[in-house]
Structure 1
Amino acid sequence: MGRYIVSRTPRAMKRMNKRLILATIREKQPISRADIAEITLLSRTTVSQLIDELLEEGVVKETGTGVSPTQGGRRPVLLSIVEDAAFVCGIDIGGSQITTVICNLSGRILCKEVIPTCSDLLSLFQWVEHFLGRAPIPTDRLIGFGVGTPGITRFEDGMVLSAPSLGWTDLPLKAEMERRFHLPVYVENDVNVAALGECWRGAGEGKQHVVMITIGTGIGCGLILNGELYRGCHWASGEFGFMVTDSQAIDHWNDPVVTGFGYLESRAGCPAILRQYQRRVRNPAITDAKVVFDRWRRGDEVAGQVIQEAKRHVAAGIINTVALVDPEVVILGGRLMNSRDLFLPQIVKSVKRLAPIQTEIRVSQLGADAGALGAGALVLREHDCPYQGVL
């Protein structure tokens, strides 16, 4: 049986303490050294030494003075994060579009561009170079890239093991991108980074146990457990689209809407809704699931039947996930939430009726920006630099 080995070297402890101090400043800013020591349980000497280093590194700044202590004495100097001390680039590669952002240490997006998805690396890298050339930041303050990709990604070496919608198998994206740009690159599943984005600046902010489900071309799930991203033994946690939500499918189903897709996303994702409707009305000329929702709004009974069936499958998956994980909140995002007035109320009602606990269901606050912002957050969480801890 394996066990975790925690490094206790002075260098490792110093790095951990710095990260703790930065996280405390981020959450409580402006805050004094004395209050940091009280909250973190570090000695005042340790806090003062590490704060001096962070000031010298330009990561934190003094922002005025607080109220004098009740026993008298000097007013404490207050500290805050220097939000523009560094920047990160977040790239969200979706099935139909790529969203690229530059954000600062507080998660404020400074620039953003969206292009149609390109799956060949040369075109992708040329686009990133073009984007960076137009970005309104000093390039020497860019500390790394975070990339969200659909499918299964091995985080430790940034290998995209399987991304059917892009035609990628065993693609060493991290290695190729670092070779091109000479900066650290962190590659993660696209829904995992969307979950990080929502926990940083969106519907999951302040939560420690979060389930993020996105429904678009495919259906994916990101899990934040005890404040940490859960990836699973084989880097495949959260493959929500592979849930089997009909017992009859166990023995006979073999009809993925896209090669490599699972059962649930072949019954409830946008391509699945479109395919079911095309089959029932025998009209392959309809090419967008949005048309199906529009027709339901106008009273089309077949469209209503197709969407109702998709809703039941999604609700079953959420109920099972809530029963298994016990999250504080379930966040729903993706293209299908553009029609949430037709899709969401019945799902909430079903989950409330059948789930063992009353978990709150929220819609993504960040929308299409969640993945790119979360990819930026990934850099700040993982990169071993003075800024680790601002997230």
Structure 2
Amino acid sequence: MNKERGNLHLIKRINRRLVLNLIRERQPISRASVAKSLHLSRSTVSSIVDDLLQKKLVVEMGYADSSKDGGRRGVELGFNPKSAYGIGVDIGGTKILTVITDLEGEIVYKEKRPTSQSVETIVSFVQAALHAAQLSEQDIVAMGVGVPSVTDIEQGIVVDAPALHWDNFKLQELLAPHFSFPVLINNDVNCAALGEQWLGSGNHSDNMFFIAIGTGVGSAIIANGQLIYGHRFQAGEIAYNIVEDDLNYNRTNALGSFGLLEQKISGTALNFADMSSTDLFARYKQGDVLAQERVQRFIRYLTLHITNAVNLLNPERVIIGGGVSESMKEIIDEINDRVNHYTPIRTKVELATLGGEAGALGAIAYAFNEVEESQLL
């Protein structure tokens, strides 16, 4: 009996999501058209729509035009993105970005402040954001928090965040009592990937490989619409990737230390002779010989690791984000061409478009996804 109830509950959740997504995609649309398109009974659709209307996720937009045979006009439905909001908090080593959006990702408030290790300070930032946006806690579906660390998303624990001096830090448990809405924690690169998937270059792709190149290097994997976490939530740690030269010289990686790939392609690795990575790419564009040599080496290493990832994961898109990516416009086509030259598995390599907002927006996307899965939205 319990199994039957569980299966029935799952079917209801699936049908509810199908109905809501169809209304979002094809609004304005009548109940009858929803039922016909999804092959659901009218009574099932009416029950779901009544619930969505009660929660203000859907609104009635007036009567449709009369049918050709003069039949009864149906009330058309539309999605209401202003029915609720989400908060995204991107905690970095130097700054904390707080963003509030509606259900379609339109930003209604954002603010960047100096970073803090204090939970009380982070709480005050969120409360100030709500006040400035003229929203109450009842308007918020959930809050997502991105942290530069391996994160245990099931327990809400920051495993190790050296920049914040957090070690096995129970961030979710400490934040949750301050708010009436759900608080969810995830890794910052995972969040940035979800942000690009939702509102950026990812273009809603269900199969995407995201690489963040900044001070360090990280990646996130989205396969069949789901983030891939791996054992102990460490999937995507490409900073530790190696090449044959590392084997020849017996170079090894150590957990928590700068990885061997990071030592080759990160912003830190690209800095030399008081020249930042931004300066390096500018000089590359101008034809500087030394800059040409270093950037070409960067391209070779990056192409190698992207190609191997494409062979392993078969992503539709590879998105490159992080601070270094903002200087890569001149070389992205070359990287895309090289990757597609070295592997017969087709993909498209592109630069991220959301910049520094990707992590906070992706934290909101993660929070929305999780509460929708729980049918709280």
Name the structure 2 match of 1:130: 128
Shift of 1:169: 2.2
Q: Is the partner of 2:178 in helix, strand or coil?
A: helix
Q: How does 1:39-54 map to 2 (within 5 A)?
A: 39-54=37-52
CA RMSD of aligned residues (A): 2.5
Q: Aligned-pair distance for 1:142? A: 1.5
2:341 aligned with 1:344, yes or no?
Answer: no
The answer on whether the counterparts of 2:109 and 2:129 sit within 8 Å (CA) in structure 1 is no
Identify the residue that residue 98 of structure 1 maps to in structure 2. Answer: 96
Question: 1:119 maps to which residue?
Answer: 117
> Which structure 1 segments of 5+ residues have no match?
279-285
Superposition deviation, residue 297 in structure 1: 4.1
2:258 matches 1:261: yes
CA shift for structure 1 position 319: 0.5
- Structure 2: stretches of 5+ with no match in the other structure: none
Counterpart in 2 of 1:321?
309
2: CA distance, partners of 1:209 / 1:348: 17
364, 372, 375: which one aligns with 1:376: 364
Aligned to 1:307: 295
8 A contact 1:219–1:240 mirrored in 2: yes
Q: How much does 1:57 deviate? A: 2.1
Say whether the 8 Å CA contact 2:332–2:351 is kept in structure 1: no
Query: 2: CA distance between counterparts of 1:46 and 1:19?
Result: 13
1:150-229 residue pairs with structure 2 within 5 A? 150-229=148-227
Query: What is aligned with 2:106?
Result: 108
Encode CA deviations 1:57-82: one digit per residue, 9 max, x unaligned. 22210112334445541222211121
> Residues 7, 153 of structure 1: CA spacing in aligned structure 2 closer, same or farther, 3 A cutoff?
farther
Contact 2:264 2:298 in 1 (8 A): yes
Give runs of aligned pairs for residues 2-21 of structure 1, distance below 5 A.
8-21=6-19
Q: For residues 81-127 of structure 1, what are the alpha-carbon distances to aligned partners after superposition, in whole Å with 9 as ceiling and x for unaligned?
A: 21111111011223443221000111111111123333343433333
Give the CA deviation at 1:254. Answer: 4.7
Letter in 2 for 1:249: D
* Aligned match of 1:282: none
- Return the offset for 1:218: 1.8
Instruction: Tell me the alpha carbon deviations over residues 113-148 of structure 1, each in whole angstroms, 9 at most, x when there is no partner.
Output: 123333343433333333333223244211221011
SS at match of 1:383: helix
Partner Cα distance (2:275, 2:32) in 1 = 62
Q: In structure 1, the residue corresponding to 2:6 is in which secondary structure?
A: coil
Q: Percent identity?
A: 36
How many pairs are equivalent? 373
Q: What is the alpha-carbon distance in structure 2 between the residues aligned to residue 52 and residue 194 of structure 1? A: 35
CA pair 326-11 structure 1, distance change in 2 beyond 3 A: closer
Q: Which one scores higher on RCO, CA 8 angstroms, separation ≥ 6?
A: 1
Tell me the alpha carbon deviations over residues 125-183 of structure 1, each in whole angstroms, 9 at most, x when there is no partner. Answer: 33333333322324421122101122311111211112344333211111111023343
- Distance in 2 (CA, whole Å) between partners of 1:287 and 1:153 is 33
From 212, 233, 236, the equivalent of 1:235 is: 233
Which amino acid is the alignment partner of residue 354 of structure 2? Answer: L
Q: State the alpha-carbon separation in 2 of the partners of residues 156 and 259 from structure 1.
A: 21
Selected match of 1:272 from 269, 280, 290: 269
Moved more, 70-79 or 294-303: 294-303
Does the residue aligned with 1:261 lie in a helix, a strand or coil?
Answer: coil
**Aligned residue among 291, 294, 297 for 2:279:** 291
Counterpart of 2:122 in structure 1: which amino acid? L
Summarize the Cα distance change of 1:107–1:175 in structure 2 as closer, same or farther, 3 Å threshold: same
Preserved contact between residue 154 and residue 161 of structure 1 (Cα < 8 Å): yes
By how many angstroms is 1:15 displaced? Answer: 3.2
Question: Secondary structure of the equivalent of 2:186?
Answer: strand
From the superposition, tell whether residues 157 and 340 of structure 1 become closer, same or farther in structure 2 (CA, over 3 Å).
Answer: same
TM-score with structure 2 length normalisation? 0.90
SS at match of 1:183: coil
